Structure 1
Amino acid sequence: MEKIRPLARAFYLGTVRYKKALKLQHNLVNWNKVQPEVASPTLLLLQHNPVYTIGYRDKQYTDEEQKLLESLGADFVKTDRGGLITFHGPGQLVVYPVFSQLQIEIGVRKYVWLLEEVIINLCKKYNIEGIRSPHTGVWVGNDKICAMGINAQKKTYSHGLALNCNTDMLWFSRIVPCGILDKGVTSLSLQTGRDVTVEEVMPLFLKEMSSVFEWDILPLQHCELDNNNIDDETLFQLVTNKKKNETYMGVKS
């Protein structure tokens, strides 16, 4: 019997503040919890305004250190993913796959391995040797090119990965990325010696995601509206094609 491939939808949201995207993820997770038979795997592709984020295991940053990072012009957000401090900003392809484990059964270790495989294959397109290490993510030598941190609560995956395309590396110099000493960061642009944009990388990423995960992914929908001013309900409805009388934040009205 031929295996039925999951059908996923993909959206490019442009540049979005971290808390706005986090709220959207929470709403999609709730939708998967309340209506798992209806909710479809969703890939949120975007870039963030400059932001430093810390995972739930990171307890080392004081209020003074937080204010120092914010004084650089970045947001500072404590979030519900795994991993330690990292930076997100323009020039970085951030991907948040949100899907129910009731629909697609993938264990956490296998899921992270598959995400790493997607990026390793993508790097090969640029003649870059991406490798795994004892630390999560994808590396080029001792430099991390793609950070990963996921959440698997409520039987739904959220959060995901951040691939450095043409990111300003100066932002990383203010922190110890992912809490890993004696390691660096790099980008596709640094490795290739030319400007590699997020827009260039997105179709390559989706192709590899479809191949590695064995998903069928619908054509990327571009929604580069002013997401930072759009209200949370409207943004949720945009991504789910739901109307107000059908659902609100993943909960039937």
Structure 2
Amino acid sequence: MSGAPVRVLRLGLRPYAEALRVQERCLGAARAARAGPGSPGSGCPGSPGPGESVVLSEPAEPVYAWGLRGAPEAAAAARLRARGAGLAAARRGGRITFHGPGQLLAFPVLDLRRRRLPLRGYVAALEALVLRLCRRLGLAAARALPPPFTGVWVGDSKLCAIGVHCGNHITSHGLALNCCTDLTWFDHIVPCGLEGKGVTSLSRELGRHVTVDHVLQPFLDSFQEVFDCTLVFSEDPGD
């Protein structure tokens, strides 16, 4: 797998639902690439290229999203909507969490069978990626916790949430890293269903304003190292 190409789609500030749509198109491309280089749709739509990709975005509006477990009850959902947030169900593991401006979303679409990487090893690789990023930024206190906890933590506060889906060995969804996120949005839920735990951000822990743009390059450097790949940059494939 050394040097295998992975296409990077940097969407910038976009609605959460739009990032999911781009991810779905890249999933289709990954499936087509596995079927063979001559199959329709190989490469992310819009141009030929590698079947694997990573979609990067910053949510343009606040949204509460949940995975295969833990959808809010109707009354709770109405309260969250009344605060001005959107609601979304996502096809991933994990319970309800918050996505919004100041947060980096990364959706890697990788073929774990080709990479000979088990799902638990993939989640550990995502954690290792974020830990490398934190070291690059000077945040030595970040750490991963043993199962059943996932993500990256500073003390008892979660810095980066991880929730993935894997179908036919191809991954989707991924991680949400709080850069300069308004953390008060998390006050209205139990993030990821973990009672007694908090949330934090790079800005809070480093004592300076850290935007999504600030972390993109160190994130990509860490991604390239952890997944042993060559990054190929692409424009947004569009609708």
Task: State the match for 1:202 in structure 2.
Answer: 216
Offset of residue 192 of structure 1: 1.0
Report matched runs for 1:96-111 at 5 Å: 96-111=107-122
Distance verdict in 2 for CA 1:235–1:102, change over 3 Å: farther
Give unmatched runs, 5+ long, in structure 1: 224-233, 237-253
- 1:157 partnered with 2:171: yes
Number of residue pairs aligned between Structure 1 and Structure 2: 222
Equivalent-residue separation in structure 2 for 1:26 and 1:116 (angstroms): 23
One of 204, 219, 225 as aligned partner of 1:190: 204
Task: Tell me the SS of whatever aligns to 1:151.
Answer: strand
- 1:174 partnered with 2:172: no
- 1:131 partnered with 2:143: yes
Task: State the match for 1:112 in structure 2.
Answer: 123
One of 13, 16, 23 as aligned partner of 2:14: 16
- 1:43 partnered with 2:41: no
Task: State the match for 1:211 in structure 2.
Answer: 225
Task: State the match for 1:52 in structure 2.
Answer: 64
Deviation above 3 Å: which 4+ runs of structure 1?
220-223
Equivalent-residue separation in structure 2 for 1:112 and 1:197 (angstroms): 24
Question: Relative contact order, CA 8 A, sep 6+: which one is greater?
Answer: 1
Report matched runs for 1:18-37 at 5 Å: 18-36=16-34, 37=36
Equivalent-residue separation in structure 2 for 1:221 and 1:154 (angstroms): 25
Which deviations, in whole Å up to 9, do the C-alpha atoms of 1:50-89 show, x marking residues without a partner?
1100110224x11121111111111111111000110010
Task: Tell me the SS of whatever aligns to 1:211.
Answer: helix
Equivalent-residue separation in structure 2 for 1:132 and 1:4 (angstroms): 26
Equivalent-residue separation in structure 1 for 2:114 and 2:55 (angstroms): 18
One of 66, 90, 95 as aligned partner of 1:79: 90
Task: Tell me the SS of whatever aligns to 1:103.
Answer: helix
Offset of residue 211 of structure 1: 0.8
One-letter amino acid of the structure 1 residue matched with residue 55 of structure 2? L
One-letter amino acid of the structure 1 residue matched with residue 238 of structure 2? L
Equivalent-residue separation in structure 2 for 1:72 and 1:221 (angstroms): 36
Task: Tell me the SS of whatever aligns to 2:114.
Answer: coil
Offset of residue 222 of structure 1: 6.1
Task: Tell me the SS of whatever aligns to 1:66.
Answer: helix
Task: State the match for 2:75 in structure 1.
Answer: 64
Task: Tell me the SS of whatever aligns to 1:115.
Answer: helix
Equivalent-residue separation in structure 1 for 2:26 and 2:227 (angstroms): 20
One-letter amino acid of the structure 2 residue matched with residue 196 of structure 1? V
Q: What is the aligned-residue identity percentage?
A: 37
One-letter amino acid of the structure 2 residue matched with residue 165 of structure 1? C
Q: Is the 8 A contact 2:53 2:108 kept in 1?
A: yes
Offset of residue 132 of structure 1: 1.1
Task: State the match for 2:47 in structure 1.
Answer: none
Give unmatched runs, 5+ long, in structure 2: 37-41, 44-50
- TM-score, normalisation: structure 2: 0.87
Equivalent-residue separation in structure 1 for 2:116 and 2:15 (angstroms): 31
One-letter amino acid of the structure 2 residue matched with residue 29 of structure 1? L
Distance verdict in 2 for CA 1:102–1:222, change over 3 Å: same
